[in-house]
Amino acid sequence: MPDLQHLKRVRKTSLEEGGFKSTLLLSLEHPTVLPPNLPEPYISPVPTSPARNLEEVVLKSTIWPTVYQPRRVEKITWTYGRIRWIRAGIQRVVDEARRAKEMGEVPIASYVPDEWETVNGLAARDTRNSTKHPLRHSVMNLLRQVSNAQHSPPEPSDNMTRNGQRYLLTSRTLFTTHEPCIMCSMALLHSRVKDVFYIYPMNQTGGCGGLSCVPGLDGVNHRFSIWKWTSPVDFKDALEVDPQLDA
C-alpha cells in the first residue's frame, strides 16, 4: 500500500474490561481475504500525510495511528567558498543570457556546474526565437545537453535506468536567470535536481513559487530547494523579459 505508508497497520485500543482490541488497517484498493472468524471490515477516515511534529502526532493519531516523520531540514553552512561558487554560477547565467540577447533570443539562460568541478559544466540559452519553437526554454535545452553528454548506454543492471527514469541531475545544482515556468519546473523535478538558484521571479508564470510551487505540491515524489539570488548588482535592464512570458 504505497499511499498508506504513513499509517500504522494496527490500532490498539484498551478495553474497559481490561486487555486490548487490535484494529487492522486494510485498503480498498488492495482487498485482502480475511479469516472467517473476524468481524466485517468497515470504512474509517485516516490522515492523508505523516505527522510533521509532535503536536500532529497527537492530533492525527486520534483519527488513526500515524507515523512521525519530521521534515528533514538540511543544515547549510554558508562558507566563503560556497558563496563564491554560487556567485560564479549566477555570473555565468547572466553572461549567457546577455549573449542570448545579443543573438536576438529571449535573455534567459541556465547552467549546471560540473559534478566534480573539473570541467566547465553545461550551460544553455533560451532558443525559442531562432528555432521558432515555443518550448525551447533554457532549462529544457540544458536537460537535453546533459542527457547528450552521458555517453554510456543504458544497462539493465544500472540502477539509474530502473523504473523508466534517468535521474539526470541527482544531487546537482541548477542556476538560471528567471524563475522556470511550470513545464520547466516539472522537468527539473523529473530530473531530480537538488537545488535551483534564480535571479528574477516570474510571478504570473513561474513554477518555483510564482504561479505555483511544483516541488511543494502534495503527491510529487521528489523535492528540491529553491533559492532566489538577491545581490546589490542589478542586471534587470539587460535581462528584462515580458512578465507574462514562460521562462
Partner 1 sequence: MDVDDEDAIHQAWMDQALIMAEEALKAREVPVGCIFVREGQVIARARNRTNELKNATRHAELEAIDEIMANPILTPVVTSQILAGTTLYVTVEPCMMCASALRQVGIERVFFGCENDRFGGCGSVLGVNSSLPHPVHRPFVAKAGYRREEAIMLLRRFYITENTNAPQPKSKATRVLKTEIAPPKRPASRT
Q: Is 3 in the site for partner 1 (CB under 8 A)?
A: yes
d(CA 46, CA 113): 44
Distance (Å, whole) CA 187 – CA 147: 13
164 in contact with partner 1 (CB under 8 A): yes
Query: Could you say whether residue 211 binds partner 1 (CB under 8 A)?
Result: yes
| 205 in Cβ contact with 227 (< 8 Å) | no
Output the smallest distance, CB 55 to Zn ion, in A.
38
Q: Is 217 in the site for partner 1 (CB under 8 A)?
A: yes
DSSP designation for 4: G
- Stretch of 13-21, 64-72, 141-149, 223-231 lying at the interface with partner 1 (CB under 8 A): 141-149
Query: Percentages helix, strand, coil for the chain, rounded to the nearest 5?
Result: 30, 15, 55
What distance, in Å, lies between the first and last C-alpha atoms of the chain?
Answer: 38
Smallest gap, in angstroms, from Cβ of residue 232 to partner 1?
30
In our burial notation (b when 16+ CB lie closer than 10 A, e otherwise), range 23-60 reads: bebbeeeeeeeeeeeeeeeeeeeebeebbeeeebbeeb
Q: Does 181 bind partner 1 (CB under 8 A)?
A: yes
The three-state secondary structure class of 146 is helix
- Taking the complex as a whole, how short is the minimal distance between the CB of residue 170 and partner 1, in angstroms? 11
67 and 49 Cβ atoms separated by less than 8 Å: no
Does 67 help bind partner 1 (rule: CB under 8 A)? no
Tell which one of 135, 228, 231, 238 touches partner 1 (CB under 8 A): 135
**Closer residue to Zn ion (CB): 19 or 164:** 164
Residue 183 Cα distances to 52, 211, 230, angstroms: 29, 12, 24
Query: Of the two residues 23 and 161, which places its CB atom closer to partner 1 in the complex?
Result: 161
**Least spacing, CB of residue 47 vs Zn ion, in Å:** 29
- Using CB under 5 A, pick the residue from 137, 166, 172, 192 that binds Zn ion: 137
* Strands, E assignment, the chain: 10-14, 20-24, 109-112, 122-125, 173-178, 195-200, 225-228
Using rule CB under 8 A, residue 221 touches partner 1: yes
Contact call for residue 37 and partner 1 (CB under 8 A):
no
Question: Of 43, 45, 50, whose CA–CA distance to 66 is shortest?
Answer: 50
Q: What is the smallest separation between the CB atom of 95 and partner 1, expressed in angstroms?
A: 25
Q: Measured from the CB atom, is 172 or 178 closer to Zn ion? A: 178
- The residue ranges that bind partner 1 (CB under 8 A) are 3, 28-31, 132-135, 140, 143-144, 146-147, 150, 154, 159, 161-168, 181-187, 189-192, 204-205, 207, 211-212, 214, 217-221, 243-244, 246
